[in-house]
Chain A
């Protein structure tokens, strides 16, 4: 198995290599392009058909919602925001890890991102799609959903730009647009690869059209790399702003439990935390299903586990500081809101959240657990559950008991609430399955740049080609690829 080769190390830094298994450029192309070109594996249907069924459920639940109205949900008078906003925040958060991997790690020159950034960016786009559905459908009168946008209309009416809800419309839709552009720009060279390997006319036409006639000219790479760098630089503050704006939907309200200044950083950390958990889940499945254990290596998984540990601790710190500030503020409403959160009717949800989000990642302090595939998978699922509950706790437990005890109530989700939650996973996984089937799952052109022979100055300094299993032989002699190539 591939894991056994992960003990080969870069000669200078002593780190595990980014790619194992002795790939060269051609075999790298093969490894990434063949899953796009071969017959659909049976395992793919195993994921795709259930996803499609859930997508159908999503369609039915939205159709019924449009027909009947928001009364089919469990909303009541104090809890006017239920699953729709919980799911919205959850999905936007999931998307953020994709941008973190593709943009922030790019700016920090973390080359290990190249194996996972394509899939993570795709995940971002599909998560934002899921997220955007909920504000669209939860407005009640969906036929006037266009009021969210500043469009000239016969009523001479304009949105209120002083409201965080309209900031959200701009933040999330622009986030979706920029993520899509970033993803597509990254795809162009790989689409050209698939185009040049295409055998059938329809493949040539479709991939050729989207590849835009890319021919790898360095005069083009020059602008391309600059554009990519700038998109990364733009996406980084964008992603931070998006979840900050999402948190302001809550924080600008005066409701105890929402009205806290910690919300923007707390939400951003939670978003990255949950998103990495989702990337982990997807990568663990994809690397097995598409035989990419050498490209998405244990080093990648371990790095992701470390980031989950970090962001998990930040989230845990935020939970603690919220409690502390509630007590320290001396405000009885704040104190009640937080005591009620941990001990009230929603205590079960609160403690699910704490155990999944704070306790689960603590095992990642141990290298053994960071390298344990089974635990990585289980913990990634647990963290996603926990992060969904975090948003549920924030929404439901804050709303259900506010200033006026006479209006207290308990929010109980209905079948249709759950149908739209589960259905949104159908949308997400259907899109991801289609992506994994028809587009290169790994950014081939980028991964080639981290292979040792991509370095034009290879062999000029200390060179040992680190290839799986053969590094001791290679260390004794100069790089086989070096020496002018004449």
Chain B
């Protein structure tokens, strides 16, 4: 989890902009535009929305999240540790013989094993989601755009990054306008003089 995440290629000196940011009016327009961007062969781009637009990953050509595998692993680890702890306590660390019953009483260990399995899985889901999403990421070039504040309100955006092989300063912006974007702007990569949110 890096605080300063930005996947800028090694030789970032050559890039004048982070990329192009385009705003769309409706979820439907965004969906169509995502399909077009995907079909145009862009790879370093993203859709940014205030809520998860249903099925947008199909339009973007994204693969399903691999998070479930991690959650399975952490869940089994939690359950295993829980069962191991209880067995170790009752067989080795603090053996109590009650009415001559065996020390290994696995049915009694089921509830705590289950609870610790759930804890492991839930931690895996949340921390795994943070790791996969590189959260927290407190600094990002997109936050330099004035209009981008609408991404948590009603703004539906597509951002194409300038290090995409198919990127072209003018061409990409025109391409996005042609897809029905209502606003298109270039987002700077470096902190500009404070008052400028990037040229349109």
CB under 8 Å from chain B, chain A span 152-177: 156-162, 164, 166-167, 170-171, 174, 177
User: Of A195, A224, A481, which contacts B152 at CB under 8 A?
Assistant: A195
Interface size band for A: 35 or more
Q: Please judge, given known A-B contacts A158-B93, A212-B135, A218-B57, whether A241 and B26 are in contact too, CB under 8 Å.
A: no
Cα A157 to Cα B93 in complex, Å, equals 8
Residues of B with C-beta under 8 A to A457: 28, 31
B90 at the interface (CB under 8 A from A): yes
B175 to chain A, nearest CB (A): 14
Interface pair A156/B153, CB less than 8 Å apart = no
Q: Please judge, given known A-B contacts A189-B51, A238-B115, A485-B182, whether A150 and B153 are in contact too, CB under 8 Å.
A: no
In the complex, the chain A residue whose C-beta lies closest to that of B90 is A161
Chain B's interface: helix, strand, loop or mixed, by majority?
A: helix
Interface pair B28/A481, CB less than 8 Å apart = yes
Interface pair A212/B86, CB less than 8 Å apart = no
Residues of A with C-beta under 8 A to B26: 453, 458, 481-482, 485
B56 to chain A, nearest CB (A): 5
Interface pair B138/A177, CB less than 8 Å apart = no
B30 to chain A, nearest CB (A): 7
A221 at the interface (CB under 8 A from B): yes
User: Of A157, A167, A181, A245, which contacts B126 at CB under 8 A?
Assistant: A181
Interface pair B119/A218, CB less than 8 Å apart = no
A75 to chain B, nearest CB (A): 27
Residues of A with C-beta under 8 A to B89: 150, 158-159, 161
Cα A213 to Cα B152 in complex, Å, equals 11
Q: Which of A185, A197, A227 has the most CB of B within 10 A?
A: A227
User: Of A157, A197, A214, A449, which contacts B51 at CB under 8 A?
Assistant: A449
Q: Provide a sorted-by-A list of 17 A–B residue pairs whose CB atoms are within 8 angstroms.
A: A189-B152, A193-B152, A213-B137, A215-B143, A215-B151, A216-B48, A220-B133, A221-B53, A226-B68, A449-B51, A449-B52, A456-B28, A456-B30, A457-B31, A482-B26, A485-B24, A486-B29
B interface list, Cβ under 8 A from A: 24-32, 46-57, 59-60, 62, 64-65, 67-68, 71, 75, 85-86, 89-90, 93-94, 96, 98, 105, 108-109, 111-112, 114-116, 118-119, 121-123, 125-126, 128-130, 132-133, 135-140, 142-143, 148-154, 157, 180, 182
Closest 10 A/B residue pairs (Cβ): A485-B29, A25-B154, A456-B31, A227-B129, A486-B180, A485-B25, A212-B136, A193-B152, A158-B94, A226-B65
